[in-house]
Amino acid sequence: MPSKAVSDAFETRLQSWPNISACPLVDLNEVSEVPKPPYLELEWPAAVEDRMSVGSPAVFRERGGARFIFTVTTNKRGWKAQVLAWADELRDLFRSKAFGGVETDEASPAVIDERNRDGTKFHVPFAVAYKFDALK
């Protein structure tokens, strides 16, 4: 899980995406009813922290990945072109950028295969690598 500063920085930057109203960011842990697709989730599958300097205060570097997951309705005509266009827009928005103290690196292409199916939903993920330095 990321630090609060990293999570806040990603969510703030995501609000500048022009298609956020067409595919809103949701936190499935905070909604009482699962929203109707399409929607976007942000997960944090991996993060580590290393001490980068000695003394006090010291620089601590958090490194990890943010996983963006589009959820769409299965078998809907035109879904693939739309989701891949959205993924490319977000990859461009987050690839090799600096915002809110966060620095990002590469943004992986979207993954589409049979693992994406989930009943009447289809999940399409991609990931962005990041680092964040904190003085503590």
Domain ranges of the chain: 4-135
CATH number belonging to the domain at 4-135, selected among 3.90.470.20, 3.30.2000.10, 3.40.640.10, 1.20.120.790: 3.30.2000.10
What does pTM read for this prediction? 0.92
Q: Tell me what pLDDT residue 32 has.
A: 67
DSSP state of 109: P
Q: Tell me what pLDDT residue 116 has.
A: 79
In degrees and rounded to multiples of 5, residue 92 shows phi and psi of -65, -35
Radius of gyration of the chain (CA): 16
Q: Which residues of the chain have pLDDT under 70?
A: 31-32
**Burial (0-12, 13-18, 19+ Cβ within 10 Å), 115:** exposed
- Report which secondary-structure segment, H or E, holds 46: strand 39-51
